[in-house]
Chain A
Amino acid sequence: DAGITQSPRHKVTETGTPVTLRCHQTENHRYMYWYRQDPGHGLRLIHYSYGVKDTDKGEVSDGYSVSRSKTEDFLLTLESATSSQTSVYFCAISELMLNTEAFFGQGTRLTVV
């Protein structure tokens, strides 16, 4: 998986609680992404980063925030989890521009009850 580690791999949390998912890479790639995958919707981009402290919104960014304080770590935070955020979350990295091949992590299954 191209040196990408997501943690935790599974999480169950209650509505209204904050949740942080972590993506760690060992490839020193510049670009990092967070996607969510839902049945009937495929993979949708939440946020992405093009460098340390440089982030931007994707297609479905509402309710999520991200931070990148180091090249190797990209954090996704749900400030107040809702049931609609139950999903599988994937982190991806790419070496070059945004519109090139991206390598994906194994995913985090998040359930909000």
Chain B
Amino acid sequence: GESVGLHLPTLSVQEGDNSIINCAYSNSASDYFIWYKQESGKGPQFIIDIRSNMDKRQGQRVTVLLNKTVKHLSLQIAATQPGDSAVYFCAETFGDGLTFGKGTHLIIQP
């Protein structure tokens, strides 16, 4: 089965609020993690990545947190905007290619 998964299939947030999308992984040997955003009808788009020797990494309005103790990854989006509406995937790698979770659909309420 999948070694990477997401806790919630759908997340609904108010515009302007912060969003937190969670991901659990099962392979403790995974050493690199990526968050992708996929808008309807498009391919996944890289958002941010983090290596296993880090706990936190920040980008523009996004932060990824890695908790290796409980094998948990999260993506925080600050001041969520309508353009953030998409499906978000986490992906891990410990060998060939990337293993993706099933995705969380982020819905922005006006």
Q: A1-B43, A106-B42, A106-B43 are in contact. Are A43 and B94 (CB under 8 A)?
A: no
In the complex, the answer to whether B32 meets A100 with C-beta atoms within 8 Å is yes
Contacts of B96 in A (CB 8 A): 45, 48, 56, 58, 98-99
> Which residues of chain B from 78 to 103 have any CB-CB distance to chain A below 8 Å in the complex?
89, 91, 93-103
Total A-B residue contacts, Cβ distance less than 8 Å: 62
B1 smallest CB distance to A (angstroms): 10
B97 smallest CB distance to A (angstroms): 4
Is B73's beta carbon under 8 Å from chain A? no
A107 contacts which of B43, B89, B102 (Cβ < 8 Å)? B43
Is B17's beta carbon under 8 Å from chain A? no
CA gap between A92 and B91 in the complex, in Å: 14
Interface residues on A, range: 20 to 34
A8 smallest CB distance to B (angstroms): 15
Is B34's beta carbon under 8 Å from chain A? yes
In the complex, the answer to whether B97 meets A98 with C-beta atoms within 8 Å is yes
- 9 A–B pairs (Cβ distance < 8 Å), ordered by A: A42-B100, A43-B91, A43-B98, A56-B96, A58-B96, A98-B95, A98-B96, A99-B31, A99-B93
B residues neighboring A (CB under 8 Å): 2, 31-32, 34, 36, 41-46, 49, 89, 91, 93-103
The 7 closest A-B pairs by CB, nearest first: A104-B43, A99-B93, A43-B100, A42-B100, A45-B97, A42-B102, A104-B44
